[in-house]
Amino acid sequence: ELAAALNYLHGKGVVHRDVKPSNVDRRGHVALCDFGIAAVGALDGDDGGGATPRRRSFCGTVEYMAPELLRGESYSKAVDWWALGVLFHELLAGATPF
């Protein structure tokens, strides 16, 4: 359900930018919530990689941030997928990988 939610958001040009366990609602169905720092329209002019032309802000939760963000690169749909992978790692291992 989380992957489907990200696919839907990315299809609408939205990057969530803070996928983590506390932003997942588990009332019957899994739902992604807290869009307070989401970037609407971030994927306009998507070149296939989903990168925004340049990053204008730095936000999110460090443990779930993709390495490219920590290097100063732009937000993209790939950063949401990275965070989802970290979230799954935490569910399976009981801790974030880093």
Which sequence positions are flagged as catalytic?
18
What pairs with residue 40 in β-bridges? 14
DSSP character at residue 75? P
Q: What is the DSSP string of 42-71?
A: TTTT--SS---SS-----S-GGG--HHHHT
Which three-class secondary structure state does DSSP give residue 40?
strand
